[in-house]
Amino acid sequence: MFRIDLRRMILFMAIMSVLVMMLGSFYASYLVQRQLLIDNTLDANYAYAAKLAESTQNFIASAQQQLAYSASIIADEFDHEDILLREAEGLRLRTNSFNSVVIIDADGWVRATSPETLSLTGQKVTSANSVQALRERRPIVSQPFMSLAGNLIVFISAPIVDSADIYHGYIGGSIYLKDTSILSSLLGEHYYEDESYLYVVDQSRRLLYHPDPGRVGEVVGANVVIDAIIRGESGRQRVVNSRGVDMLAGFARVPATGWGIVAQRPFDATLEGLNDLTWKVVRNTLPLGFVTLIFIWWFARLISHPLWQLADGAQHMDRDGTADKLRNVRSWYHEALQIKRAMLVGIGLVNTKIGRLNRDVQTDPLTGVLNRRGLDAVLDEWRAEARPFAAIALDIDHFKRVNDTFGHDAGDSVLRNLSLTIQSCAREADIVCRLGGEEFLLLLPSTSAASAAAVAERLRRAAAQDVVDPVGRITISLGVAALPEHGADAGMVLRMADEMLYEAKNGGRNRVVVAG
């Protein structure tokens, strides 16, 4: 089964952190760049529309000045038809501002036209724009209207007033919105790219200019940008156009006419470059990301390796050499070093505890000498080493009488005192055991039966001289046997020593009997 260890967890968390951070950075950068592109496009379109609106406003003002100048020339010569015709022709050809020029007297009769192919001279005008110009007697820029010839026209006029302040009529110039004109040239200089375009709309929602000539004159329906223009506003707006295309539009109003000039660019086209740029950034970042992941893997391994070694040591704390392995662990950072120290302390405490438990298991709790389990461990070790030894089995004479007379507490005192006496008579390498009750065993490594007999005799005399309160003096009986003198193995020698002990008891007690 898949095991979640520290290295995998660190690696996973680090990789996820890097990925989340990178994705978050990419996404945040994308959003910022996206909004920046949108804002810049809106600002650029607004600036462009405002510039064109200003240029159109200047053109209208210039056209009005040209008409006013021509009106001042012919004001005092209004009765000379040739002068009127020459000025009309000169105005049209000299400035190229108008598609046609017409001079109308105060009664509405056409006095001169250019070009003459219009064939309007001598006719009386009755259109609303002509009547308005005659009635108001001031410079006028008409709303676009459809002429009798089917042209969509904007008519600009200036009153003709002579030096005597007599009103003679007006001179006017027509701009054909569906034909080539200076206005279409001015607006048509826009560089159309990725479906970006501009259009001009009047207060009645009629298109006055559009890159698609077939739409000029079309009345546009609901549109938030056109609604804002009709309200007299200029600005920038994201809008869905009449064809359902999402656009970023900038719009500005021409004060002299109330027209609105709208420059717009498709929303998708605006972001197309950003999408390509984002993918390039991602592709260029991938090598660095790969190197980063390798570094994360290496660093995760570097962090987790000491902890992995410590965890392995924790699983095998009962094995020999674990402490040495832990000491060799390179704990190069604080937490691993602290864990290492704690584990070494723990192993020391465990070993101490185990040693204490082993001693408790192998030690008689009353006297502090070895018990039968401890004896077996010593004999196993000596048996493996083929070590010779002598055994002295001893027993307290009439110990039952001591318990019956003085109680078990007194008996325990006698046993403790005897164990101390035995240890005082034994050498450092000798083993003292309590086999149970009042029976003890003294093992003397690498000792002959004769030497052991001397030790047994010294022990007998020492025990007889001790006075234990309230019991007084006690005596002991001892049996001696040796390996290999009296048996081929330790079991035979111990049985022989035990038989000699019973022989000493049967022989009158307080004596030493050595196997023959």
Residue 357, pLDDT score: 63
CA torsion, points 175, 176, 179, 181, in degrees to nearest 10?
0
Contact 70, 62 (CB under 8 A): no
Residues in the chain: 516
Question: pLDDT tens digits, residue range 163-178?
Answer: 899 999 999 998 887 7
Q: Which pairs from 314-322 meet CB under 8 Å and 24+ separation? A: 314/343, 317/343, 317/346, 317/347, 317/350, 322/347
- pTM, rounded to two decimals: 0.56
Question: pLDDT tens digits, residue range 263-317?
Answer: 998 888 888 877 777 778 778 877 877 788 788 778 777 877 787 777 777 777 6
Residue 326, Cβ density class (10 Å: 0-12 exposed, 13-18 middle, ≥19 buried): buried
Q: How confident is the model at residue 441 (pLDDT cuts 50, 70, 90)?
A: very high
Residue 93, pLDDT score: 87
Residue 1, pLDDT score: 45
Q: Which two tokens stand for residue 319?
A: 């094995």
Q: How confident is the model at residue 367 (pLDDT cuts 50, 70, 90)?
A: very high
Question: pLDDT tens digits, residue range 221-273?
Answer: 888 898 999 999 999 999 888 778 889 999 999 988 889 999 998 888 888 87
Percent pLDDT > 90 in the chain is 41
Q: Which two tokens stand for residue 36?
A: 């920046």
Q: How confident is the model at residue 150 (pLDDT cuts 50, 70, 90)?
A: low
Q: Compute the average pLDDT of residues 136-146.
A: 87
Q: How confident is the model at residue 193 (pLDDT cuts 50, 70, 90)?
A: low
Span of 52-56, 68-72, 329-333, 465-469 with lowest mean pLDDT: 329-333
Q: Compute the average pLDDT of residues 443-459.
A: 95
Residue 361, pLDDT score: 78
Q: Compute the average pLDDT of residues 90-115.
A: 89
Q: Which two tokens stand for residue 27?
A: 């996404």
